[in-house]
Amino acid sequence: MEISADRDGNTFYLNMGPQHPSTHGVLRVILKMNGEYIQEAECVLGYIHRMHEKIGESMFFSQFYAYMSRMDYLSAMAYNHGYTGLIEKMAGIEPPLRAEYIRVITVELNRISSHLVWLGAYLLDLGAFTPIMYAFDDREMILDLLESITGSRLTYSYFRFGGVCKDIDEDFIRGTRAFIKKMRSRLKMYDTLVTKNVIFIGRVKDIGIISQDMARRYGATGPVLRGSGIEYDIRKNEPYSVYPEFDFDIPTGSTGDARDRYLVRVAEIEQSLRIIEQALDRLPDGPYRTEIPPFIELEPGDCYFPVESARGEFGIYLVSNGEKRPYRMKLRTPSFSNLSLFNELTKGYMIADAVSILGSLDLVIPEIDR
């Protein structure tokens, strides 16, 4: 951190980042401080910008698969789902039912994996080392499962227009059921180790309260929005794929503080387990992919397709002029909107609270600097 003082000596500026552990990436926050208290918090973006939208406009539709997972590398499956779902909607492609079930299973496994990374890293930001060891141990089971069908452990490029690139087998199904059983026992352990820990409660309770009005004004989505008591989840409110066939709840908070955002994400792990279990029980037979031409041409027009990623609403707006490439592609990523409320949210808090608030937003910087 770098510090510089105003000429009057009453306030000073603190550079938090762009290479600070608690920002989890190259995010720079310029804090205007009055002693220990924050007056302004300016977020400076662009350190890792890679022009994904422009790259997408220069490629054939099928060439852009791999780029989706390079934005939110912790929730890559949801980004796979958003892109393939958009093109299928515009091209009139109907994926097989088995493929849709496999998509939901893998997306929800990836959602749990993302929440476990957040859980461990957040507690590490707050000074607790033990939880990240358990969280990453649980996550390893998911990575092993997804690697067996995708060949990757992080930046997945598994979905294809019309289905998925590989079917799941009995080994994957057995391994997933074993993970569900283990994860449910671990949730009880996390409840004792973290949720009821008095030191943790002191760092998150009544810290960073996001009112429903603030959440709406800044376009917050995902657990950040639901932590403020707004029951909005695209899987329920704007259903896609086969999510309407599954029974699951939308966890919400009541206060809107950092603790509520933590509780929502932990509760979402159990809801994802419920979805996966139902999908495995009802997994239909049949093909896992519909054969389509290698180069897709879309009719002129435009379309927006949103999905629920681990951090909230990820949506793609695409304009087609009838060629084999998009005329315009606009990506709506949740971390960008969720971060935008940070300045207003942190005013009057101490710098130690800023670390807790920033971590509670669960940001992935490459999806902001896309």
60 falls within a domain? no
28 and 108 in one domain?
no
242 falls within a domain? yes
275 and 165 in one domain?
yes
326 falls within a domain? no
103 and 35 in one domain?
no
246 and 354 in one domain?
yes
Q: What is the pLDDT of residue 183?
A: 95
122 and 6 in one domain?
no
Nearest to 362 by CA among 239, 220, 248, 161: 220
124 and 272 in one domain?
yes
137 and 241 in one domain?
yes
331 falls within a domain? no
356 falls within a domain? yes
| Residue 24: both structure tokens together | 């989890």
213 and 143 in one domain?
yes
Over its length of 370 residues, how does the chain's per-residue pLDDT go in tens digits?
445 555 556 788 988 877 766 667 788 899 998 888 999 999 998 888 888 889 989 999 889 989 988 888 899 999 999 999 999 999 999 999 999 999 999 999 999 999 999 999 999 989 899 999 999 999 999 999 999 999 999 999 999 999 999 999 999 999 999 999 999 999 999 999 999 999 999 999 999 999 999 999 999 999 999 999 999 999 999 999 999 999 999 999 999 999 999 999 999 999 999 999 999 999 999 999 998 887 888 999 999 999 999 999 999 999 999 888 999 999 999 999 999 999 999 999 998 899 999 999 999 988 888 7
Return all residues near 216 (Cβ < 8 A) that are at least 6 apart: 230
- Domain hosting 20: range is 2-44
Looking at the 3D structure of the chain, how many domains does it have?
A: 2
Q: Strand, helix or coil at 8?
A: coil
Looking only at the bridges linking them, the beta strands covering 28-34 and 37-44 are: antiparallel
CATH value at residue 223: 1.10.645.10
107 falls within a domain? yes
121 and 9 in one domain?
no
Which residue among 28, 44, 60 closes a domain?
44
| Residue 38: both structure tokens together | 């924050």
pTM, full prediction: 0.94
237 falls within a domain? yes
Helices (H), the chain: 52-57, 65-68, 76-91, 97-125, 130-150, 170-190, 198-204, 212-217, 223-226, 234-237, 258-281, 334-340, 342-346, 351-360, 365-368
Sign of CA dihedral 115, 73, 364, 67: negative
168 and 20 in one domain?
no
Looking only at the bridges linking them, the beta strands covering 328-332 and 159-160 are: unpaired
Looking only at the bridges linking them, the beta strands covering 2-5 and 28-34 are: unpaired
20 and 141 in one domain?
no
